[in-house]
């Protein structure tokens, strides 16, 4: 499994990694998204099996016990997120390069696992205030959950040096262009 190519996107919540990953998936037919498992509740715009596999805590812990995860983290209080080995295997068997949207610790762990077969990209913004504005605009979290995400941002921003490439996501079209170039260079397409 560690021989196939992978692209990892990590960032503090609200920086724009999901937006960039979705854009890349539309532009590169060579890529396929690794659908993670999570115990978070589904947002209205999300589809089970497409955005995430939404699991109960009991089912998630069962999968941990059965060693079904390549990596997993309790990213927020009571919220588990993890990359399923079977998901990555399935996509690599289909001949795809796999793209991940994971938290910073998960990103570092996946880079360690896939090494030179991985391109690890860190998405950042100029300030925590920008993150706050974007989370406000996305309007998917309760005020408490938003505060929890912002409180983690400073610590998450310290992970930048562990990544291969960095995108400062201010002007979105420039961020898309930069991400596209990184992917083209890495996949040599």
Q: For the segment 108-167, give every residue that binds ligand ADP (CB under 6 A).
A: 134, 137-138
Q: For the segment 45-64, give every residue that binds ligand 5GP (CB under 6 A).
A: none
Q: For the segment 124-183, give every residue that binds ligand 5GP (CB under 6 A).
A: none
How, if at all, do strands 52-54 and 36-38 pair?
Answer: parallel
Closest CA to 88 of 188, 22, 2, 27: 2
CB of 141 to ligand 5GP, least distance (A): 8
Distance of alpha carbon 136 from alpha carbon 64, whole angstroms: 33
Closest CA to 167 of 124, 126, 127, 131: 124
Q: Are 70 and 88 a contacting pair, CB within 8 Å? A: yes
Residue 106 interacting with ligand ADP (CB under 6 A): no
CB-nearer residue toward ligand ADP: 85 or 152: 152
Q: Of residues 6, 7, 13, 91, which one binds ligand 5GP by CB under 6 A?
A: 13
**Going by C-beta distance under 8 Å and a sequence separation of 6 or more, which residues neighbour residue 169?**
11, 15, 16, 20, 123, 124, 125, 175
CB-nearer residue toward ligand ADP: 1 or 162: 162
The three-class DSSP label of residue 177 is helix
How many residues touch ligand 5GP under the rule CB under 6 A: the total is 14
Residue 17 interacting with ligand ADP (CB under 6 A): yes
Residue 81 interacting with ligand 5GP (CB under 6 A): yes
Distance of alpha carbon 155 from alpha carbon 163, whole angstroms: 15
Q: Of residues 1, 4, 19, 40, which one binds ligand 5GP by CB under 6 A?
A: 40
Interface positions with ligand ADP (CB under 6 A):
11, 13-19, 134, 137-138, 169-170, 172, 175
């Amino acid at each position: 499994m560690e021989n196939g190519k992978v692209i990892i996107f990590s960032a503090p919540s609200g920086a724009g990694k999901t937006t960039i990953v979705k854009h890349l998936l539309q532009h590169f037919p060579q890529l396929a998204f690794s659908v993670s498992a999570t115990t978070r509740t589904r947002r209205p715009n999300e589809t089970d099996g497409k955005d995430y596999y939404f699991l109960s805590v009991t089912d998630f812990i069962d999968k941990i016990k059965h060693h079904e995860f390549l990596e997993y983290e309790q990213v927020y209080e009571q919220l588990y997120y993890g990359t399923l080995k079977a998901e990555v295997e399935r996509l690599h068997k289909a001949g795809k390069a796999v793209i991940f949207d994971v938290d910073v610790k998960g990103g570092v762990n996946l880079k360690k696992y896939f090494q030179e077969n991985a391109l690890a990209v860190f998405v950042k913004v100029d300030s925590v205030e920008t993150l706050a504005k974007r989370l406000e605009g996305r309007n998917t979290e309760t005020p408490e959950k938003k505060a929890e995400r912002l409180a983690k941002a400073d610590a998450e921003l310290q992970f930048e040096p562990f990544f291969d490439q960095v995108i400062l996501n201010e002007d979105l079209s420039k961020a898309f262009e930069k991400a596209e170039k990184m992917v083209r260079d890495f996949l040599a397409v």
